C-alpha cells in the first residue's frame, strides 16, 4: 500500500487540530479585540511599573 | 459705537496659546499670564493635575492626536456615590473567582493608544484596583477591584477626573450577542479557509496527475477526500448562502446569493455523481475556494459596521445614573433605576433631572435644550413641569416624580426613534438586484449550451460542459466586489471623520432611480450654530465690562456664563469690593460695586427696577432685537450704561459649505426648536428663504416634516442633519440621517452617518465619497461581468477543465480586490474649510 494512504488522512487530521485550536481561541474571546493589544506592545517600553500578574477575570 | 468682540483667530493656531492638556486653543479670556500652564477649560486642568500627580506624564508623549481629534477633557464633575449601593452593584457588577468585583464601563473621550495606556494604569492611580482593560474600538473598560480596598465611586470619580466619564455598560446581553455573532462568523471563515486550502492540496495532486499520469487508486483517494471536504464546506460555512437564497426565493426577491447557491449546488451534485461513478471532472476545489472568498467579503462588511451597533441603553444614558431621593425628610443618594411615580427628588443646580415631574419646592431656571433644542432657559417654579434629561441651572428644586424611564417624554422619543429605525424599508441593494437577472440569464445560457452540445456531441459532453458553465458563471467576483468596495469606502470615511453605519447609505446618496438631489434638513442649534450663547456686541461704557464679569461669575445661567467668558480678563477687579449680590432667577443680578448699584439683566427686569435708558442705548437695544439677538442691559445706579447682544453664533464656514451644497443641487431647509427671530436670523445669514425655516418645532413636528419629504417619490433623497435628542426621531425617519459631533447618544443611534467634527462641513466630503464609491463599485461590477462572460464562452466551447476554473475564479476575485483597494488612491477631495 502506498504511503499516500497514510499521509493524506494525517494531513487532514493535522488541519483539523489546527482548526480546533482556532475555534477554541475564538470562543475564548481572543479575537474579539485585535486593535488594542497591538497598541499595548508599545506600552512596556514606557512603563516603570514592576511586572505583576493581573488576576484572570473569571466573571 | 458697537464693538464686535473678536473670536480667537483660527489662522494663527501656531502662535495662539494652546491648552497643555488637550492642545486646543485657549480662549483669550481664560489665559492667565502668570500661570505655568494654560488650559482651555476646568476639565483639562483637573485631568492634567491628576495625571501629573500620579507620575504618569508619559501619557503626553504617547498621544498622537491629529488637529481634528483634539478634544477637551470633559469631566462631568459628578460624584458617583450611587455606584456603591447594593442595588447598583448587584445589577451591574460581577464577582471574580477570588472574591473581587468586576464591572464593564463605557467610557467617554477615549481616542487613542495613550488613553488606553492611561486607563490601564488605574491600578497605580487608585489603590485597590487590580486590573483594568480598555478596548479602543468599543470604549469599554473592564475594571476589577478589591471591594475591601477601594470603592467603585472612587474609581468612577478618578476616571471622570482624567476626562473619561464612565457609564455602566447597560447593554450587556446585546453586546455579548454581537460578540458571539462575530465569533461565529470568524470561526466559519477559518473553517472555510482550512477546507479550501486542503481541497486545493488534493486538487494540485489531481492536476499534476492529469499531465503526468496518476495511479487509479491515488486518484480515487484524492477524489473521495476532495468530495468530503467539498460537502463539509458547503454544508457548514457555506450553508449561509443556501439559507439566504432560499429566504429570498420565498419572498420573491432577488439576491446575489441565488446564482451563487445555484453554482454551488450544481457543482456539488455533478461532482458527487462523478466521484461515485469514477469518471468525469470534479470541481470541489473551486467550490471550496468560492465559499471562502465570499465569506471573506461578508466578514469585512460586518466588521466595518461595529461602531454602529454599540448602542447603550438609550433612555438610561441620557438621564443621570444616580439621584437624590427625599424620604421622610432625609435626602438619600440612590440609583435612578429605583425611582417610582410619587417619589420626591432633589435636583441641585447643574444636575440633570432623573425623571419627568412637577416642581414642589424652589424656583430656578431649566435648560430644556435636550428636548427643544432651545438654547434659552425656561423658568421653573411651583407647579412647573420638568422633564427627564433636562438640566437644572440656578437653584435647588424639589420635584414630584410623574414618569420614569420609558414613560418619560425622552423615553417616548427614544421609542419613536427605535420604531423609525425598525420601519425603515431595507434598501434593495444594487448587487442584489443584479442577482435576480443573473440567475435568469445564466439558466438560459446553460439551457442553450446544453441543447447545442446534445445535438452535436452527445449527452455526457453536454453535461460536462454545462456543469462547467454553471460553475464559472458563478458571480464570485461580484459577490466579493461590492462588500469589498463598501468596506474600503467605509474605512476611508472613518479615517476622515465620517463614520458610516452601512454601505447602503452611500448607495442612497447617489440613487440613480430618483432625482439626484433632494432636501437637506438642517437643525439649527449645535449643527449650524455653536449651541452656546456668545456675546455678539457691546455698546456702552467699556470700564463696566470687568464688573459685569465679576458679578456674573457665580451664576449658572447660560447668559451669565457667556458674559463672564467674554468680559473676564479685560482688567482685574477685586471680588471683595462686591457686596449685596442678589440673583433674580431668570431675570438678572443686582450687586453693589464701588461705583454704585450695578444691575445686569433682561429688559423686563430693568423696567421692573425702573431703570432709565439713554437714547443711544435704546438704539442699540432696538438694533439688537432687529437682528434677532437676545438683549441684556447693564445699569449703574438706575441708569442704563451698557447693552449687550447675545446670540448663538453661526459656526465659522457654514455659509460657504452650504453654498457648495446648494450649487450641487440640494435644497436646504431649517428645522429648529428655537424661537422664530433667532431662526430667521440664521436663515437670513445663510441665504435660506424664510418659509423654508421652521421654528418652535417639537421633535414630533420635525419628524412629520421629514416624513412628508421622504414619502414624496418625486423628490430626491431627504437628508436630515442634527445633533440633539429632539432631532433623533427625524434622523431615524430621513432617507439618510447625519448626526454631528457633540450629538447626544440618541441621535447617534438614530443616524446613519456620524461626523466626528462639528458643523456641516463634512457633508460635501460625504457626497464626494459616495460618488467615488459607487463609481468604483460599478467598475468592479464591469470587471466581474467581463470575467464571467469570458468564462462562460470558454465553457461553452468545452475548454474549461477544473484547472481552468480554479485559475479563472480566484483571478477574477484578485483583480476586483486590487480595483477596490486602488480606488483609495484616487483621493476623495477634501473640501477646504476654515473650520477648526
Sign of CA dihedral B441, B443, B444, B445: positive
Q: Alpha-carbon dihedral of residues B821, B827, B831, B833, nearest 10 degrees?
A: 90
- CB pairs below 8 Å between A and B: how many? 90
Instruction: Tell me which of B69-78, B292-301, B547-556 is least confident.
Output: B69-78
Q: What is the pLDDT of residue A58?
A: 34
Q: What is the mean pLDDT of the segment spanning B268-291?
A: 90
Q: What is the pLDDT of residue B575?
A: 64
Q: What is the pLDDT of residue B264?
A: 92
A53 in B contact zone (CB under 8 Å) = no
Q: Phi then psi for B481, rounded to 5 degrees?
A: -60, -55
Give the residue on A whose Cα is nearest the Cα of B93.
Answer: A59
Closest CA to B443 of B262, B252, B244: B262
Q: How many CB atoms lie within 10 A of CB B456?
A: 9
Residue B143 binned pLDDT confidence (cut-offs 50, 70, 90): very high
pLDDT of B459 over the 60 cut: yes
Distance from CA of B189 to the nearest CA of A (A): 11
More confident residue, B651 or B235: B235
Instruction: Tell me which of A39-43, B257-261, B470-474 is least confident.
Output: A39-43
Instruction: Tell me which of B396-400, B569-573, B581-585, B599-603 is least confident.
Output: B569-573
Put simply, the answer to whether A43 touches B183 (Cβ < 8 Å) is no
Distance from CA of A18 to the nearest CA of B (A): 9
A45 in B contact zone (CB under 8 Å) = no
Q: What is the mean pLDDT of the segment spanning B258-277?
A: 91
Put simply, the answer to whether B96 touches A27 (Cβ < 8 Å) is no
Put simply, the answer to whether A33 touches B94 (Cβ < 8 Å) is no
Q: Which of B95, B198, B217 sits opposite A15 (nearest CB)?
A: B198
A59 in B contact zone (CB under 8 Å) = yes
Contact partners, residue B245, CB within 8 Å, separation at least 6: B255, B257, B258, B260, B261, B262
Distance from CA of A55 to the nearest CA of B (A): 7
Q: What is the pLDDT of residue B234?
A: 95
Distance from CA of A43 to the nearest CA of B (A): 7
Q: What is the pLDDT of residue B7?
A: 40
Dist CA B722 CA B730 (whole Å) = 9
More confident residue, B590 or B428: B590
Q: Which of the listed ranges B480-489, B585-594, B780-789 does the model predict with the highest average pLDDT?
A: B780-789
Q: Which of B61, B131, B191 sits opposite A57 (nearest CB)?
A: B131
pLDDT of A16 over the 70 cut: yes
Q: Are B124 and A49 in contact (CB under 8 A)?
A: yes
Residue B198 binned pLDDT confidence (cut-offs 50, 70, 90): very high
B644 in A contact zone (CB under 8 Å) = no
Q: What is the mean pLDDT of the segment spanning B515-537?
A: 79
Q: Which of B121, B191, B218 sits opposite A19 (nearest CB)?
A: B191
pLDDT of A47 over the 70 cut: no
CB < 8 Å from A in window 416-455 of B: none
Q: What is the pLDDT of residue B64?
A: 60
Which residues in chain B are closer than 8 Å to A21, comparing Cβ atoms? none
pLDDT of B563 over the 80 cut: yes
Q: What is the pLDDT of residue B74?
A: 62
Q: What is the mean pLDDT of the segment spanning B697-702?
A: 82
pLDDT of B272 over the 90 cut: yes
Query: Which ranges of B687-755 would DSSP assign to H, the alpha helix?
Result: 699-711, 725-733, 745-750
Q: Which of B62, B136, B144 sits opposite A35 (nearest CB)?
A: B136
Q: What is the mean pLDDT of the segment spanning B638-656?
A: 85
Put simply, the answer to whether B221 touches A26 (Cβ < 8 Å) is no
More confident residue, B760 or B123: B123
Q: Which of A32, A39, A40 sits opposite B179 (nearest CB)?
A: A32
Q: What is the pLDDT of residue A52?
A: 40
Ranges assigned E (strand) in B146-238:
166-168
Average pLDDT, chain B: 80
More confident residue, B439 or B826: B439
A37 in B contact zone (CB under 8 Å) = no
Query: Which pTM does this prediction carry?
Result: 0.70
Q: Are B367 and B558 in contact (CB under 8 A)?
A: yes
Task: Decide: helix, strand or coil at residue B149.
Answer: coil
Which residues in chain B are closer than 8 Å to A54, comparing Cβ atoms? 123, 130-131, 144
Q: Supply B797's cell numbers.
A: 466551447
pLDDT of B10 over the 50 cut: no
Give the residue on A whose Cα is nearest the Cα of B120.
Answer: A40
pLDDT of B6 over the 50 cut: no
Put simply, the answer to whether A8 touches B138 (Cβ < 8 Å) is no
Contact partners, residue B719, CB within 8 Å, separation at least 6: B509, B518, B519, B520, B521, B666, B734, B735, B736, B737, B738, B763
Task: Decide: helix, strand or coil at residue B264.
Answer: helix
Q: What is the pLDDT of residue B526?
A: 74
Q: What is the mean pLDDT of the segment spanning B589-599?
A: 86
| Per-residue exposure over B85-124, b if at least 16 CB sit within 10 Å of its own CB, e if not | beebbeebbbebeeebbbbbbbbbbbbebbbbbbbbbbbe
Q: Supply B208's cell numbers.
A: 499534476
A19 in B contact zone (CB under 8 Å) = yes
Q: Which of A23, A27, A54 sits opposite B130 (nearest CB)?
A: A54
Residue B515 binned pLDDT confidence (cut-offs 50, 70, 90): low
pLDDT digits (tens, 9 = 90+) for B241-250: 999 889 988 9
Establish how many alpha carbons lie within 13 A of residue B382's alpha carbon, considering only the half-sphere containing its beta carbon. 1
Q: What is the pLDDT of residue B59?
A: 78
Q: What is the pLDDT of residue B744?
A: 61
Instruction: Tell me which of B154-158, B288-292, B436-440, B746-750 is least confident.
Output: B746-750
Q: What is the pLDDT of residue B583?
A: 77
Residue B350 binned pLDDT confidence (cut-offs 50, 70, 90): confident
Instruction: Tell me which of B210-214, B422-426, B604-608, B634-638 is least confident.
Output: B422-426
Q: What is the pLDDT of residue B8?
A: 41
pLDDT digits (tens, 9 = 90+) for B48-95: 888 888 778 777 776 665 554 556 666 555 667 778 877 778 777 888
pLDDT of B120 over the 60 cut: yes
Q: Are B32 and B42 in contact (CB under 8 A)?
A: no
Which H/E stretch holds residue B440? helix B430-456
Residue with cell 435612578: B336
Q: Select the residue from B116, B178, B189, B215 to test the A interface by mutation, using most A Cβ atoms within 10 A.
A: B116
Q: Select the residue from A26, A30, A34 to test the B interface by mutation, using most B Cβ atoms within 10 A.
A: A26
B309 in A contact zone (CB under 8 Å) = no
Q: Select the residue from B120, B142, B147, B187 to test the A interface by mutation, using most A Cβ atoms within 10 A.
A: B187
Which residues in chain A are closer than 8 Å to B186, comparing Cβ atoms? 26, 31
Q: What is the mean pLDDT of the segment spanning B153-167?
A: 85
Distance from CA of B191 to the nearest CA of A (A): 7
Angle between helices B239-250 and B257-277 (to 10 degrees): 130
B97 in A contact zone (CB under 8 Å) = yes
Amino acid at each position: 500500500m502506498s504511503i499516500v494512504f497514510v499521509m493524506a488522512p494525517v494531513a487532514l487530521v493535522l488541519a483539523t487540530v489546527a482548526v480546533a485550536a482556532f475555534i477554541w481561541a475564538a470562543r475564548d474571546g481572543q479575537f474579539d479585540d485585535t486593535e488594542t493589544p497591538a497598541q499595548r506592545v508599545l506600552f512596556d517600553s514606557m512603563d516603570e511599573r514592576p511586572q505583576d500578574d493581573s488576576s484572570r477575570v473569571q466573571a | 459705537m458697537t464693538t464686535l468682540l473678536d473670536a480667537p483667530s483660527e489662522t494663527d493656531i501656531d502662535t495662539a496659546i494652546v491648552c497643555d492638556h488637550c492642545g486646543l486653543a485657549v480662549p483669550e479670556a481664560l489665559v492667565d499670564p502668570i500661570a505655568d500652564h494654560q488650559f482651555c477649560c476646568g476639565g483639562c486642568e483637573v485631568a492634567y493635575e491628576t495625571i501629573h500627580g500620579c507620575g504618569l506624564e508619559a501619557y503626553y508623549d504617547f498621544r498622537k492626536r491629529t488637529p481634528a481629534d483634539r478634544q477637551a477633557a470633559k469631566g462631568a464633575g459628578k460624584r458617583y456615590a450611587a455606584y456603591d449601593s447594593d442595588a447598583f452593584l448587584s445589577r451591574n457588577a460581577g464577582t471574580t473567582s477570588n472574591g473581587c468585583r468586576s464591572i464593564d464601563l463605557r467610557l467617554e473621550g477615549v481616542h487613542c493608544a495613550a488613553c488606553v495606556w492611561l486607563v490601564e494604569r488605574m491600578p497605580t492611580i487608585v489603590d485597590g484596583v487590580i486590573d483594568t482593560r480598555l478596548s479602543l474600538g468599543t470604549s469599554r473598560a473592564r475594571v476589577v477591584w478589591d471591594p475591601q480596598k477601594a470603592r467603585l465611586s472612587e474609581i468612577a470619580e478618578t476616571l471622570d477626573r482624567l476626562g473619561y466619564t464612565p457609564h455602566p455598560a447597560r447593554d450587556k446581553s446585546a453586546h455579548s450577542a454581537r460578540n458571539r455573532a462575530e465569533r461565529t462568523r470568524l470561526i466559519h471563515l477559518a473553517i472555510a479557509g482550512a477546507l479550501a486550502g486542503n481541497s486545493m492540496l488534493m486538487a494540485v495532486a489531481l492536476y499534476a496527475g492529469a499531465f503526468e499520469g496518476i495511479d487509479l487508486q491515488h486518484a480515487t483517494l484524492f477524489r473521495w477526500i476532495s468530495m468530503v471536504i467539498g460537502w463539509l464546506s458547503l454544508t457548514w460555512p457555506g450553508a449561509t448562502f443556501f439559507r439566504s437564497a432560499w429566504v429570498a426565493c420565498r419572498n420573491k426577491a432577488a439576491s446575489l446569493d441565488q446564482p451563487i447557491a445555484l453554482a454551488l449546488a450544481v457543482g456539488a451534485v455533478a461532482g458527487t455523481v462523478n466521484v461515485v461513478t469514477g469518471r468525469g471532472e470534479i470541481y470541489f476545489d473551486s467550490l471550496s475556494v468560492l465559499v471562502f472568498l465570499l465569506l471573506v467579503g461578508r466578514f469585512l462588511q460586518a466588521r466595518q459596521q461595529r461602531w454602529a451597533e454599540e448602542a447603550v441603553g438609550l433612555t438610561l444614558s441620557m438621564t443621570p445614573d444616580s439621584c437624590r431621593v427625599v424620604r421622610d425628610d432625609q435626602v438619600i443618594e440612590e440609583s435612578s433605576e429605583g425611582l417610582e411615580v410619587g417619589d420626591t427628588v432633589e435636583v441641585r443646580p447643574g444636575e440633570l433631572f432623573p425623571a419627568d415631574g412637577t416642581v414642589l419646592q424652589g424656583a430656578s431656571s431649566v435648560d430644556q435644550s435636550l428636548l427643544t433644542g432651545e438654547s434659552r432657559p425656561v423658568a421653573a417654579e411651583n407647579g412647573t413641569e420638568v422633564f427627564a434629561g433636562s438640566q437644572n441651572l440656578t437653584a435647588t428644586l424639589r420635584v414630584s416624580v410623574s414618569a420614569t424611564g420609558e414613560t418619560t417624554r425622552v423615553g417616548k422619543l427614544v421609542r419613536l426613534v427605535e420604531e423609525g429605525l425598525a420601519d425603515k424599508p431595507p434598501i434593495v441593494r444594487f448587487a442584489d438586484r443584479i442577482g435576480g437577472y443573473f440567475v435568469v440569464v445564466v439558466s438560459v445560457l446553460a439551457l442553450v449550451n446544453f441543447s447545442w452540445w446534445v445535438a452535436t456531441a452527445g449527452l455526457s459532453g453536454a453535461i460536462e460542459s454545462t456543469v462547467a458553465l454553471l460553475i464559472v458563471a458563478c458571480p464570485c467576483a461580484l459577490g466579493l466586489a461590492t462588500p469589498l468596495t463598501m468596506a474600503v469606502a467605509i474605512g476611508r470615511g472613518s479615517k476622515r471623520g465620517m463614520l458610516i453605519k452601512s454601505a447602503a447609505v452611500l448607495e442612497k446618496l447617489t440613487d440613480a432611480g430618483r432625482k439626484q438631489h433632494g432636501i437637506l434638513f438642517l437643525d439649527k442649534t449645535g449643527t449650524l450654530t455653536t449651541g452656546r450663547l456668545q456675546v455678539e456686541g457691546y455698546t456702552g461704557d467699556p470700564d463696566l465690562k470687568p464688573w459685569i464679569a465679576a458679578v456674573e461669575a457665580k451664576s449658572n445661567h447660560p447668559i451669565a456664563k457667556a458674559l463672564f467668558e467674554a468680559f473676564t480678563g479685560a482688567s482685574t477687579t477685586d471680588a471683595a469690593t462686591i457686596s449685596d449680590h442678589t440673583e433674580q432667577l431668570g431675570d438678572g443680578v443686582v450687586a453693589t460695586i464701588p461705583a454704585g448699584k450695578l444691575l445686569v439683566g433682561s429688559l423686563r427686569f430693568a423696567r421692573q427696577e425702573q431703570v432709565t435708558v439713554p437714547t443711544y442705548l435704546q438704539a442699540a437695544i432696538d438694533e439688537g432685537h432687529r437682528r434677532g439677538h437676545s438683549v441684556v442691559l447693564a445699569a449703574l445706579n438706575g441708569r442704563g450704561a451698557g447693552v449687550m447682544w447675545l446670540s448663538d453664533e453661526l459656526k465659522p464656514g457654514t455659509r460657504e459649505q452650504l453654498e457648495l451644497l446648494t450649487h450641487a443641487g440640494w435644497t436646504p431647509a431649517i428645522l429648529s426648536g428655537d424661537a422664530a427671530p433667532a431662526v430667521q436670523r440664521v436663515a437670513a445669514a445663510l441665504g435660506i428663504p424664510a418659509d423654508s425655516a421652521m421654528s418652535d418645532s417639537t421633535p414630533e413636528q420635525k419628524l412629520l416634516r421629514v416624513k412628508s419629504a421622504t414619502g414624496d417619490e418625486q423628490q430626491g433623497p431627504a437628508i436630515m442633519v442634527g445633533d440633539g435628542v429632539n432631532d433623533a426621531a427625524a434622523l431615524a425617519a430621513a432617507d439618510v440621517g447625519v448626526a454631528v459631533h457633540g450629538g447626544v447618544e440618541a441621535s447617534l443611534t438614530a443616524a446613519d452617518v456620524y461626523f466626528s467634527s462639528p458643523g456641516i462641513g463634512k457633508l460635501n466630503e460625504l457626497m464626494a465619497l459616495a460618488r467615488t464609491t459607487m463609481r468604483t463599485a460599478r467598475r468592479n461590477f464591469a470587471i466581474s461581468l467581463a470575467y464571467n462572460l469570458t468564462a462562460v464562452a470558454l465553457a461553452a466551447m468545452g475548454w474549461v477543465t477544473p484547472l481552468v476554473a480554479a485559475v479563472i475564479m480566484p483571478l477574477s476575485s484578485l483583480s476586483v480586490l486590487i480595483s477596490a483597494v486602488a480606488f483609495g488612491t484616487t483621493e476623495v477631495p477634501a473640501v477646504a474649510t476654515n473650520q477648526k
